[in-house]
Amino acid sequence: MKKANKQILIAVTGGISAYKACELVRDLMKKGHAVSVMMTPEATQFVTALTFRTLTNQPVIVDMFDQDLSWDPCHISLAERADLVAVVPATANFIAKLANGLCDDISSCVIMATKAKILIAPAMNDNMYSHPAFKQNLKKIKTFGYQIVSPIKGALACGKTAIGHLATVSEISREIEKLLK
Is residue 158 flagged as an active site residue?
yes
Burial 43-66 (b: 16+ CB within 10 A, else e): bbebbebebbeebbeeebbbebee
| Bond prior to 41 in cis (omega within 30° of 0) | no
Instruction: Find the length of the chain.
Output: 181
Among residues 74, 103, 109, 158, the one annotated as catalytic is 158
Angstrom distance (rounded) from CA 123 to CA 14: 10
Angstrom distance (rounded) from CA 116 to CA 84: 5
Angstrom distance (rounded) from CA 63 to CA 105: 7
Q: Helix or strand or coil: residue 35?
A: strand
Which residues form the catalytic set? 158
